[in-house]
Amino acid sequence: MRNPSISARAMVLASTALLLSGGLAMAAPRAAAKSQPPLTLGIEFGSPGFTENFNPFSPTHLLGDSYMYEPLYMVNMLNGKQSPWLATSYQWVTSTELQFTIRKGVKWSNGKPLTPADVVYTFDLLHRYPALDLNGVWTDMKSVSAKGDVVTFKFSKPNIPDWYFIATTYIVNKAQWSHIANPTKFTNPSPVVTGPYVLAHFSAESYTLKANPLYWQKARVHVPAITSMALTSNTTADLQLAEGKFDQAALFTPNIQKVYARVNPKFYHYWYPQGVPVNLFMNLTKYPFNHLKFRQAVAYAISRPNISKNGEYGYMLPANQSQLPPTMQAQWLDKSLQAKYPYRYDPAKAAQLLRSMGLKKNSQGQLLGPGGKQLTISIEVPTGWTDYIQDCQIIASSLGKLGIKVQVETPSVSTWTNDTETGHFDMALNRLTTYPNPYLIYDQLLSSQNSAPVGQVASTNWERWRNPKTNQLLLKYQETSNPKAQKAVVNQLQQILYRQLPVVSLVWGTSFNEYQTNHYVGWPTAKQGYALPPYYFPDTLSIILHLRPRP
């Protein structure tokens, strides 16, 4: 039910981090307290350098705009906590009418006041140019209007979870954007913003943001500037990290504890929080993946601890079938399902399930499919994604022991994306967007509206799970704000995931996040996880306002 762009983009960004291999970061001497250096980030890939684009609604926008633009509400990606931001409050007047009260006293970086008209204009802009509506806020919305300080959103049908996408949409300046002939091609080289930073300098190699002197929370800003460096290759990223050029990075670094954290435990740190799982997507429109027993056999044939240890260096821990990130499980997980359907590594059970399908081995140990030939399937993963490729090889080896021939194919990212979206694949590894709400996770994975016939683009339901009961449950969640009713729906959706295995969960997807504390402190950590790093999550504003110069 959501537009695919945001999920697909988040996946590409996360996977870009997987591609990069980091090395040792050497700490520079701490600057004097009166002359704090810029916070330097190694988080964005350049091809080969940056292309200037600070249009927050463009699929190819630069990530620095998350320090410049602000939403109506901040939503903590770890725990779902809501914090008023450009709006001071909200209320559901009815199940189809939502109101936000807009904060007074906020100024744009050009000195003009933020008004409810800016908010209305922002959403009207997304309506008039659907290509900008990356979150699909107009899926069920029919109007937006303002009266006094209150902005009212009306919907064609109840959809309570849409609050999240409306509340977290970046607000743009009407005076600036209303003069743009084609906002879909606008690269916004001079952003007018309400956030803590404004653009100071741009080049293909790097760009710098400086503190916004008109920011409405100016007292909370203790980092004078932010510089983002273009990562042009693995070799360059390794060198820059080794030279101590990054205060924060998002690099996949084998043996991070040994080669980084232990070298200087006072300053070198990392925290890799676990999010939605890396899934094995099987094309449910094809044989044998359209057979439940085959999917069950695959689930029992794979050793998730093996993938975690040998494919992911222990960074991504073994996942269960719930799809719920570890931070959400205390509130939402149905533990009885986990006990009943553990899907532990059990090749004997996997073999028994295959036999119950009528599949038999020949004298060479090959599992024979229809027509008497060895059952042969492929699994796709993009070239260069070294950890995912290793995961696929582990899966291929495990299924090979059952007599199944698995070919690991490594096409380009664009080919892999097209194949999974259009249904021209057997199996593929991928992960979806982490959200702070179970409905949003399940909707992108299971909703028929996010699927499509083979040959057409499926936004996020790449396995092409089409099930009336699933759709009814998702609709039921949309219509209620009652926590008990929501819990009941989530439990039933978990039952589908455990019993029917529309996808097979492997390991929890992690957010790679390395940081140094020689200049700034206050980063979120495993013990003080107040926000979800790194850059491709909306908690960026929260983190930058927590940072302080090292005492």
Return the residue matching tokens 């999917």: 295
Distance between CA 551 and CA 475 in Å, rounded?
Answer: 52
**Contact of 470 with 493, CB cutoff 8 Å:** yes
Same domain, 262 and 285: no
pLDDT at 278 over 50: yes
Residues 226 and 159 grouped into a single domain: no
Statement to judge: residues 90 and 54 lie in one domain: no
**Cβ(67)–Cβ(82) below 8 Å:** no
Return the CATH number at 427: 3.10.105.10
Q: Pick from 130, 153, 183: which residue ends a domain?
A: 183
Domain match, 486 and 465 both = yes
pLDDT in tens, 405-423: 999 999 999 999 999 999 9
Mean pLDDT, range 208-218, rounded to an integer: 98
Nearest to 109 by CA among 192, 196, 223, 221: 192
Residue positions counted in the chain:
551
pLDDT confidence of residue 79: 84
3-state helix, strand, coil in the chain (%, to 5): 30, 20, 50
Examine the fold and report which residue of 183, 206, 240 is the final residue of a domain before the chain moves on. Answer: 183
Q: Is the pLDDT of residue 260 over 90?
A: no
The answer to the question of residue 35 being in a domain is yes
87 and 58 fall within a common domain: no
Burial code (b: 16+ CB inside 10 Å, e: under 16) for 342-374 equals ebebbbebbbebbeebebebeeeebbebeeeee
Tell me, what's the pLDDT at 31?
38
Rounded CA separation 449/470 (Å): 11
What is the model's pLDDT at position 55?
97
Based on the fold, state whether residues 258 and 360 are members of the same structural domain. Answer: no
Cβ contacts of 144 within 8 Å, gap of 6 or more: 119, 120, 123, 124, 127, 151, 152, 153, 154
One-letter amino acid at 447 equals: S
Residue pair 119/171 in contact (Cβ under 8 Å)? The answer is yes
Q: Quote the strand ranges of 369-439, DSSP E.
A: 376-380, 405-409, 427-430
pLDDT tens digits for range 71-128: 999 999 888 899 999 999 999 999 999 999 999 999 999 999 999 999 999 999 999 9
Whole-number pLDDT of residue 18:
37
- pLDDT-based confidence at residue 17 (cuts at 50, 70, 90): very low
d(CA 314, CA 220): 36
- Which of 28-32, 268-272, 289-293 is least confident? 28-32
Find, among 234, 249, 252, the residue nearest to 510 by Cα.
252
**Residues 438, 364: one domain?**
yes
If asked whether residues 435 and 293 sit together in one domain, one would say yes
Residue 26 has pLDDT above 80, yes or no: no
- pLDDT surpassing 50 at residue 542: yes
CA-CA distance, 508 to 412, in Å (whole number)? 24
Helices (H), 114-180: 116-128, 162-167, 174-177
Residues 292, 266, single domain; the answer is no
DSSP state of 113: B
Q: Is the peptide bond before 48 cis (omega within 30 degrees of 0)?
A: yes
Alpha-carbon distance of 63 to 52, in angstroms, equals: 11
Residue with tokens 């803590």: 196
pLDDT higher at 518 or 263: 518
What is the per-residue pLDDT for 6? 37
Residue among 310, 239, 262, 275 at smallest CA distance from 21? 239
Residue 448 lies in a domain: yes
C-alpha distances out from residue 469 to 325, 441, 472, Å: 24, 17, 5
Q: How confident is the model at residue 536 (pLDDT cuts 50, 70, 90)?
A: low
- What is the rounded average pLDDT of the residues 345-367? 97
Domain housing 75? 69-183
The model's confidence at residue 234, banded by pLDDT at 50, 70 and 90, is low
Half-sphere exposure of 146 (CA within 13 A, CB side): 15
What CATH number is attached to the domain comprising 96? 3.90.76.10
Specify if 223 maps to a domain. Answer: yes
**Beta pairing, strands 360-361 & 367-368:** antiparallel
- The half-sphere exposure of 494 on its side-chain side, counting CA atoms within 13 A, is 24
Q: Angle CA(193)–CA(65)–CA(413) in degrees, nearest 5?
A: 155
In a domain, 190, yes or no: no
- Mean pLDDT score across all residues of the chain: 91
- The span from the CA of 523 to the CA of 517, in Å, is 8
What is the model's pLDDT at position 29?
A: 37
Which band of pLDDT confidence, cut at 50, 70 and 90, is reported for residue 2?
Answer: very low
CA distance 462 to 420: 6
- How far apart CA 82 and CA 326 sit, in angstroms, is 19
Last residue of a domain, one of 137, 163, 183: 183
Q: Give residue 538's pLDDT.
A: 77
CB burial readout 482-498, b (16+ within 10 A) else e: eeeebeebbebbbbbbb
What's the domain count of the chain? Answer: 3
How do residues 446-485 score in pLDDT, each as one tens digit? 999 999 999 999 999 999 999 999 999 999 999 999 999 9
Average pLDDT estimate for 42-48: 85
More confident residue, 34 or 59: 59
Q: What would the mean pLDDT of 136-152 be, rounded to a whole number?
A: 96
pLDDT for res 7? 38
**What was the pLDDT predicted at 112?**
98
Of the chain, the percentage scoring pLDDT greater than 70 comes to 92
Same domain for 288 and 256:
no
Residue-level pLDDT at 238: 65
Cβ contact 50:207 at 8 Å: yes
What CATH number has the domain bearing residue 266? Answer: 3.40.190.10
Check the CA dihedral 307-310-316-317 and report its sign.
positive
> Quick check: is 87 in a domain?
yes
Read off the amino acid at residue 334. D
Interval 512-535: pLDDT, tens:
899 999 999 999 999 998 999 876
- The answer to whether residue 147 scores a pLDDT higher than 60 is yes
pLDDT for position 474:
97
pLDDT of amino acid 15: 37
Q: 292: helix, coil or strand? A: helix
Beta strands per DSSP E along 342-491: 360-361, 367-368, 376-380, 405-409, 427-430
Q: Calculate the CA dihedral of residues 211, 217, 221, 226 and round it to 10 degrees.
A: -40
Taking Cα atoms as reference points, which of 467, 457, 462, 396 lies closest to residue 432? 462
Can you tell me the distance from the alpha carbon of 157 to that of 154, in angstroms, rounded to the nearest whole number?
Answer: 9
Does one domain contain both 426 and 503?
yes
Same domain? For 141 and 233 the reply is no
